[in-house]
Amino acid sequence: MSNKNPGITISENGKCNICNNEINRDALIKIQYSLKQFKIYKEKVSAVKGRERYDALLMLSGGKDSIYVLDKLVNEEKLKVISYTLDHPYESENAKSNIQKVIKKMDIEHISHMPNISEYKQTMIKAFENKVAINNPFEASKFPCLICDDYMVLNAYFMALKLYIPFVFYCLDPTQLYIVDTDIKFIMEKHKKLFSPDYTHIVKDIEREMSRRDSSELPIVVSYFAKNVSEYSREDIIAYLKSKGLYEKSPIEQVCSLRPLLDYYSFKKYDQSYSMFEFLRPKVLNGELGREAALEYLNEFRMLIVKMVEEAEMKNNLENSKEKFNELFSRVGLTLDQAEYLTEKYLDLIKYHEILNINPENI
């Protein structure tokens, strides 16, 4: 991060306002809303438990957090849960494999919902070509990813509406709680504003279904980890799941296929990548990597990704790029398998860039 990023300031000690936990107003609103919704869930759950066929719908991504929350809801809170996955075309195969293993082992009912692929692609193209000025540093360089998050929670919410399920669990980790919207009405208005007049059909579907219900009957989106952000531990969650045979792969090996394209978007538009920042931040904070070394690393990564997309010589010589990616990932402590997995993802950057037909000049 540098001072040129939207909303970022670097203090005298060399740390940015994010690392110093100086979050902005928008981020504070998001986490306060999530905490309020969690409290409402705790107040209502005993009264509505068992009233409908399902007590809760859980958005199951195949990642550690959603699997952990599923286990807690079923085995500790004794809720009747149906899991839900939006089967979009860019999800990682490892995440899909995790989902199948978990629903089989836990004997959980599961909905795998294939969205309108054409609509989903158009939504993502518009997100990558977005021209809206965003001053929130948590959101700016991750905008396409956030729009995809919105699309997933809108579809999950509509499913809960149709099945009369009172709670939708959205398994955001503490960092995501500051940047991801969970207020359905706000998300709907945002999509209408960004994609008007041809806003997504899912928004129209939800509006139609909401008009038939009393506000007290509408599902509540619940962020499980909002209850106590300070107790969240990535390592403890992974260890817990592995002890129960519910998790095998590392989080690194479940990267969405659009992650490299997101990095290109971020570097191209903001000269920085929030996803890479998230990846390097723990290493800087615990002293494994100095701040200047991290900035140098990000610059090398940026140059490699931008050249891959924009220079014909790099497009036609992916073997050279493969070596460079492997070296970069190995340099920050990834195992050989993890480095090779991510390298293959990033070599697919050209393919997904061309599939979505995004003109670099429009980013």
**Among 221, 219, 131, 229, which residue's Cα sits nearest to residue 177?**
229
Instruction: Give the three-class secondary structure for 81.
Output: strand
Task: Answer yes or no: is pLDDT of 151 > 60.
Answer: yes
Mean pLDDT of 141-167: 93
Amino acid (1-letter code) at residue 157: Y
Beta strands 56-59 and 220-222, pairing class: unpaired
Percent of the chain with pLDDT over 90: 37
101 in Cβ contact with 84 (< 8 Å): no
Percent of the chain exceeding pLDDT 70 equals 85
What digits encode the pLDDT tens for the residues 305-351?
Answer: 888 877 766 666 777 788 888 898 888 888 888 888 888 888 887 77
Check residue 249 and give its pLDDT.
66
**Which of 144, 147, 135, 136 is CA-nearest to residue 190?**
147
> What confidence score (pLDDT) does residue 275 get?
78
Q: Does position 10 have pLDDT exceeding 80, yes or no?
A: no
* 127 C-beta neighbours (distance < 10 Å), count: 23
The answer to whether residue 3 scores a pLDDT higher than 60 is: no
43 or 191: which leads in pLDDT: 43
* Cβ proximity of 224 and 171 under 8 Å: yes
Specify the DSSP class assigned to residue 10.
B
What's at 339, amino acid-wise?
Answer: A
Sheet containing strand 109-113, edge to edge, reads 109-113, 81-86, 56-59, 167-169, 220-222
Q: Taking 90 as the threshold, does the pLDDT of residue 258 lie above it?
A: no
Asked whether residue 43 carries a pLDDT value surpassing 90, the answer given is yes
pLDDT at 305: 87
Query: What's this model's pTM, rounded to 2 decimal places?
Result: 0.85
Helices (H), the chain: 25-48, 64-75, 93-106, 117-128, 137-140, 143-162, 174-177, 184-195, 201-210, 234-243, 259-270, 274-285, 291-310, 312-315, 318-331, 336-347, 349-355
Q: CATH fold of 25-243, please? A: Rossmann fold (3.40.50)
| Three-state DSSP state, 271 | coil
Q: 141 or 244, which is more confident?
A: 244
Between 56 and 362, where is the model more confident?
56
- The pLDDT value recorded for residue 112 is 94
Report the run of H or E that residue 199 belongs to, with start and end: none
Backbone angles phi, psi at 332, to 5 degrees: -105, 25
Residue 223 near residue 177, CB atoms below 8 Å: yes
197 cis-preceded (ω within 30 degrees of 0): yes
Decide if 130 contacts 265 (C-beta within 8 A). Answer: no
| Whether pLDDT at 5 is above 60 | no
pLDDT: is 137 or 213 the higher one?
213
Which backbone phi and psi does 181 adopt, to 5 degrees?
Answer: -80, 140
| Of residues 188 and 2, more confidently modeled | 188
Q: Scanning the structure block, which residue is given the tokens 């969240």?
A: 232
241 or 138, which is more confident: 241
DSSP assigned state of 244: T
pLDDT in tens, 263-280: 888 888 887 787 787 788
The better pLDDT of the pair 168, 252 is held by: 168
| Maximum pairwise Cα distance, the chain | 64
Structure tokens at 28: 């504070």
In the prediction, which pLDDT does 260 show? 86
Question: In the predicted model, what is the mean pLDDT of residues 52-58?
Answer: 96
Residue type, 340: E
DSSP string, 11-52: -TTS-BTTTTT---HHHHHHHHHHHHHHHHHHHHHHHHTTTS
DSSP state letter for 179: T
What gap in Å lies between CA 255 and CA 265, rounded to an integer?
A: 16
User: What's the rounded mean pLDDT across residues 201-221?
Assistant: 93
* Residues 112-145: tens digit of each pLDDT: 998 888 888 888 888 888 766 665 655 777 888 8
Give the residue with greater pLDDT, 357 vs 33: 33
Q: What is the average per-residue pLDDT within 175-188?
A: 90
User: Which has the higher per-residue pLDDT, 250 or 105?
Assistant: 105
59-117 per-position pLDDT tens digit: 999 999 999 999 999 999 999 999 999 988 788 888 888 899 999 999 999 999 988 88
Q: Could you give the 3-state DSSP secondary structure of residue 231?
A: helix
- Report the SS3 class of residue 169: strand
**Residue 118 pLDDT:** 81
Domain boundaries, the chain: 25-243, 255-362
Mean pLDDT computed over 290-303 = 88
Report the b/e string of 78-87 with b at 16+ CB within 10 A: ebbbbbbbbe
The CA distance from 183 to 49, in Å, is 23
User: Of the given ranges (31-45, 66-80, 347-361), which has the lowest mean pLDDT?
Assistant: 347-361
What tokens appear for 169 in the block?
């669990």
* Average pLDDT rounded to a whole number, residues 295-302: 89
Distance between CA atoms of 120 and 112, rounded to whole angstroms?
16
